[in-house]
Amino acid sequence: MSNHPWLTLAQKYRAIAVIRASTLELGRHMALAVASGGMHLIEITWNSANAAELIGKLRLELPDCVIGTGTLLNLQHMHQAISAGAQFLFTPHVDRAMIQVAIEQHLPIIPGALSPTEIVSAWNDGATCVKVFPVQAVGGAKYIKSLQGPLGHIPLIPTGGVTLENAREFLQAGAIAVGLSGELFPKQFVEVGDWQAISRQAKILMASLRV
């Protein structure tokens, strides 16, 4: 495992809040809520409304947090995200050209992969670490644990099926960190703007990970 600064952050904070929002202000409230709950790694998906502007605002409003982006599908998206100030980059797939651009820009790149072949390919192409997505479809924490024997040198971040209840299991299985989206932002809380409830969700998660 490399000693990339991103890996140090992932090991320190252990959880990434993944925000997909239909308006800029909604995304801002969601980010502020999880930050107040103790989360420091926040991903704004690129298909959120005004994602570039939101990343810029959060960089200013949350100086103690690391604000990145995800759901980057192509090089155009990636260049736009970098210009917006994204501090880390997630993709749902493995794209060698995108990985290379991130390396050239000295930015952490975490491509999505599922099979051992995809995971190794991403790592060999220069990924900072690899997002295992959607992890619940292939066995959840048990799958992460089964990868540790042959692929224990590759840092993994499972998403897609991580919950407040099972997040710790993924770390115990060998994941370097976990990503959560809907589980952190229950629809009933978001719809009524109950940001304190979402902050409590974040606090529960972080307490379970003992950060």
Residues labelled as active-site residues: 43, 131
Task: Give dist(CA 148, CA 164) in Å, integer.
Answer: 23
Contacts of 165 (CB under 8 A, 6+ apart): none
Residues in a beta bridge with 179: 16
The three-point CA angle 174-178-184 to 5° equals 150
